[in-house]
A and B are shown apart, each in its own frame.
Chain A
């Protein structure tokens, strides 16, 4: 897989391969090997004065203002995929949850659950990817934990990250603040992460490799906040895709959202893959896209700001919030008829024919 060695080759794994080429149960036992893992792998990668204090917890100095706090766990197969890996996902996912609160992400914790036998080099590459992602997002990993489970009881690596950020938005950002007349702005094309993972898992080949959109959204959101744009609600699009994000916010805000199918950007390859698999792209996972709800007077500035950012070049208005049926999301289809966009009952399963 082309992307596997992207970060790993820059350095050599510091745990002597001839000694411990694989993770042992003892690496999570709290003894010498755990100590070696922390000293040789985690501290150099995530190095900062707070983590360096080697305390039971991180002591943080925060400006006395509103904080945002979130946590998420990451389990993904394969661990490495085009456009990212479990490490970058674990950083960006938590950073994005903070960004959606209108917060500047500052500190993260990292908890690893490793499966006995995991190649040490794999862990090293994941850690290097986390380091890079954290640097790019401007966050520090200030505390962590490692446990090792018996072989066969895990899927290589599970990671939990929790994050703290300081809220910079001047007004509350939440579904309850969406107002009738708000424009719904989407930050780019949808469905890439889900299809990238599917393609690797199932060995599907396309004309070009579809890369996950995995990225930290804090920069683009802070740009909008810095420009004084009145953001009523933000939501990153994750597992349930665009549809689930819209339905959740429509239900919380008791408003009716109308979207236009024609306006939603998608890569041709992603469209093709969805056609072949019988997937509805509205429900396919993303890891670097978000929707924002902004009042009509701020729409032009929002679009200009977002399009000036590398992660928002394809930003566009996809619909509007209205009074009407509370919790309803409808979509005007490409042929000009209207349908209800509903929550999925389970995972999308590939259709038979």
Chain B
């Protein structure tokens, strides 16, 4: 497959692996920000190809994992309401709330539907004018343009029975939260290629400068990731802290300007709770005042609803790269994909699930 096969080439991977062994002279810890990158690393066994001095930690870039328990509970509450059609991306359905998930809501009669785009949810709203249709708007900057477009079109078409349960999160504030933590061990970042395809990478330059940390915008295929790590190690070994772009086939410094404009039209920056981490200031998107009529939380009276997370789960520390999944006492013993305690075990992109599936027996 074009644009896939060449980035899964064993010889190219081997070359980067050899180069990394040559240039690495001391231990380094690098975080890949995005859950898609974590998935690729574990699925293809990329870390096996790295010299032992390089440690990868898995960052908070899985939108499914970082969606707060509170929002999952709100989703379950809305989806259980009679006459509501609740639409979501597939992997949010298995995220555990306090006592159940959206799949169980579906099994007990809730109309919960998997869609591939928020515009599909909008179409469902148009086709079912007598019912409330709610879309679970989860994701980083990557999914924000499509979600913004759904609201924009709903406003244009004057559709009253459509709303968003907004759970948008932003990457740069999360990186800053990690870097400013006293426990931080991350020395370099692979930034998420898809997020940067939308936002560009100008936002990362002040972070690289302030914390003196190299940031390499990186793609998702094995050769992309190995090259990203190589670029990051070269900087670390050379004492540099710059923003570099490995994923230049998709990402420009400015990013996708029409998409950014649309995001700005519909959304504003708000504080956001991250599952396992807590609230990070200015780290999420909420609807602008003039689009607040599309806010499902307000529509269903859930603005002040709160929920506390289980104490035993260390998914927050895993998300921040402070602990590895197997350092958790519950991992595999009390926490499995069948009975997950935290969302990092639920999503196929979650660090705990990735470790469970691909490493369990080795």
Contacts and interface: CB of A to CB of B under 8 A. Distances in A.
Interface in A131-152: none
Contacts of B338: 345-346
B89 interface: yes
A312 B362 CA distance: 34
B194 A353 contact: yes
Interface in B216-265: 222-223
Interface stretch (A159-167, A223-231, A335-343): A335-343
A333 interface: yes
Interface stretch (A43-51, A168-176, A268-276): A268-276
A268 B2 CA distance: 10
Contact of A342 (B1, B8, B138, B357): B357
Interface residues of B, number: 46
Q: Which of A335, A342, A350 has the largest count of B CB atoms less than 10 A from its CB?
A: A335
Given A275-B4, A338-B48, A349 B90 contact: yes
A328 interface: yes
A278 B336 CA distance: 21
B142 A334 contact: no
Q: Which of A345, A348, A352 has the largest count of B CB atoms less than 10 A from its CB?
A: A352
A349 B92 CA distance: 9
Nearest to A204: B116
B143 interface: yes
A150 to B, nearest CB: 17
Size bracket of the A interface? 20 to 34
Contacts of B103: 346
B60 interface: no
A335 B93 contact: no
B10 A352 contact: no
A323 interface: no
Contacts of B349: 351-352
A340 B14 contact: no
Q: At the interface, is chain A mostly helix, strand, loop or mixed?
A: loop
A334 B1 contact: no
B139 A353 contact: yes
Interface in A322-338: 325, 327-328, 330, 333-338
A202 interface: yes
A351 B90 contact: yes
A272 B36 CA distance: 17
A335 B91 contact: no
B304 interface: no
Given A268-B1, A272-B1, A337-B45, A353 B63 contact: yes
B8 to A, nearest CB: 5
Q: Which of A275, A328, A337 has the largest count of B CB atoms less than 10 A from its CB?
A: A337
Interface string B61-92: 00110000000000000000000000001111
Contacts of B46: 335, 337
A353 B46 CA distance: 21
Given A271-B1, A335-B8, A337-B49, A352 B139 contact: yes
B13 interface: yes
Contacts of B138: 352
Contact of B45 (A202, A333, A345, A351): A333
B360 A333 contact: no
Contacts of A328: 361
Interface string B29-51: 00000001000001111101100
B337 interface: yes
B277 interface: no
B45 A349 contact: no
B49 A335 contact: yes
B347 to A, nearest CB: 8
Contacts of B337: 345-346
Contacts of B280: none
Nearest to A338: B45
B312 to A, nearest CB: 20
Interface string B117-132: 0000000000000000
6 contacts: A334-B8, A334-B44, A336-B10, A340-B357, A340-B362, A352-B349
Q: Which 7 A/B pairs are nearest by Cβ-Cβ distance? A: A337-B45, A349-B90, A345-B337, A350-B90, A335-B13, A337-B48, A352-B89
Given A337-B44, A338-B48, A353-B143, 6 more contacts: A335-B14, A336-B10, A336-B14, A337-B49, A346-B94, A346-B338
Interface of B: 1, 4, 8-10, 13-14, 36, 42-46, 48-49, 63-64, 89-94, 103, 114, 116, 138-140, 142-143, 194, 222-223, 336-338, 348-349, 356-362
